Structure 1
Amino acid sequence: MRKAAGFAAAGWLGFVILHHLLTGRFWVWLIPDMIPPALYLAVPVTILAAARCRGRAALLAAGSLLLGAAHAGLNPAALTAPDGPPPPGAVRVFSWNTEYWHQDDDPRAFYRFLTDQHADVYVLQEYLNWVGDQPREAGDLAALRREFPGYHLAAEGELVTLSRFPVTAVRRVGPAADLGPRPSWRAAFDLAKILRTDLRIGASTLSVYNVHVPAQYVLNENPFTARFYTELRGRGERRAAQFGGLLADLAANPAAALVSGDFNSTGAMGELRPLFDRLTSANTANRAIYPTSWYAGVLPLWQLDWTFTTGVTVHTSELADPRGLSDHRAQSLAITMRR
């Protein structure tokens, strides 16, 4: 038993070291990056228990625990997160990957879920249907305007942002900047994974970045083929282009910003590290110790949906039940602008 624990501890420590070296830097690591972050805590703790906290195995497991604990998806800010209602006048933001709009759901239930949020700003992804293994525009903007009278609407490809506040500018970010003045919906879908909408809130400007970073892996792909790795490398390059475009735009933007959506990335992945370093995660106001937003089957082990801010105070943040309408939980926040 001790020998097996020693091998397991050495192997896991090697994995954690490789993760530190390769995540966000080498496209092949996009596959190991998909593990549930909780494993960075659960595996070494299990090995420590098996080794009875003694010997070489325990030492190696303790090392991997120290190296990997920050990647385990825990949210220590939950212990000090605000408890109580947001201040009067706070702006309510609702961000959600809708999972193909209401393609497989009752449209009335879908719109009832949205309107029940009473949000001031909606940041929505996957405004599309999936037909014949191809994305198609959902063709629902007129219905959206009827359901949200008085709201301002910005849409590009699969991204839709609704706001009670006036929209002063709409800007393409990243690869979508190369699109012509009137691109087809499919061209916009392929390139526009970040949509910046500038809102006038009182005397201030808030830049809302609606984000849906492409997934690195499609579940029906065969990893034992050369095509799999060609596709994986291409997806890695497309993801890097989106993240790079987002960071460049943020660096050049003096306004307060809210960056929200489906990043298809866990907090353990190196691609998100620059956002954690430069902005503030809304998890600082989330009271969940292990927040999760995406289900693989029935296991809620991943947080792929995030909100980051600058120049903004987040008073409340929660990952809301989507009522069976999506495989993603929705992000519900209350914010105020800093002066």
Structure 2
Amino acid sequence: MSDEKALSSLRQLAAEPAWRSAFIRQILALEAEIATPGVDIREEVTGPLVDALFDDDQVVRKTLSNGVTFEFLYRSKIARDFVMSQPETPDHAWEPQTSRILVDLARRAKQVVIGGAYFGDHAILIAREVAAGGGVVHAFEPNNEQRAMLQRNAELNGLTNIRPRSEGLWDDSSTNLKLVGYDSFASAEVTAEGADDGFRTITISDYLAAAGVNALDLIVLDIEGAEMAALKGAEPFLAQPKGEAPDILFEVHRHYVDWSVGLENTPLARFLTGHGYELFALRDFNSNYDLAGRPIELIPLGAIHLEGPPHGFNMVAVKDASVFDNDRYLICRDVSPKLLRHKDPALHHPIGGL
């Protein structure tokens, strides 16, 4: 069979939504049947087959089990794994434990800043949680198309408490940046003023002062290496005492953070611990994966297994770690925060197995 004939068959499947859904269900069954230790079946085999059913500019709609509806462009692993969720109606869009801990932290938050809000996969859940108490989510997303999807998802879910912003979070409010790379993998680089696709930076402190906000409860950052700059721009809030300083969830990645002498010795970790924060790595799948009913597993800063190829994961910083002293959380040590189905279960699977 020629490659063109195979592509024609996939295009025919893609043209019929019911056929496409049935094909994806069969692909997921195959994925479970051929699971092989050491082989990432999703990335190497099944994912590309599902990718062939969608175009980059195609808008997909999907609803969560709690009724939250998302529309999103099919142009990232986030979109693909959401489409391939099991169950078909999942309780999250992306990163199950990250989604859960953010909703948990949002229960005691009113003012939230998100850097890298994307189409709202986490922002919508947070905004929904803080809305009853009059809370506001200040959502920064320089990618114009993804910011438009964020606005669309706020409308779909009847949320009026999201403030979409086009600026980039930084340690000053006078730099010009541009996004380099494709969609969810894009990182920010300094560029000349007036450059095509450029955008202005702003510090969290300057932005909130201009907005008349004098308290901050939660910061969420996924901005591909700009996390340190963004946190420096919020330093007056970070310096506040326990009970007033914001909780923080942020991504670290080996491409941007050199942890070769220990994560606790990196400038980012030292900056936060110097302000009285206690840091934990969050064990999670960088995917859509059903972990309903499982505790949220956290690893203390000095007990994180970091070996392996360059990778990233989310961390949580709090000044009052007693918020994790309940049965929703499990503190563990000497395991990897990177949950991976095809890797060593002792290091890369949740405690108790998959």
| TM-score after normalising by structure 2 | 0.31
Q: Which has the higher contact order (CA 8 A, sep 6+)?
A: 1
Structure having the higher strand fraction is 1
| TM-score after normalising by structure 1 | 0.32
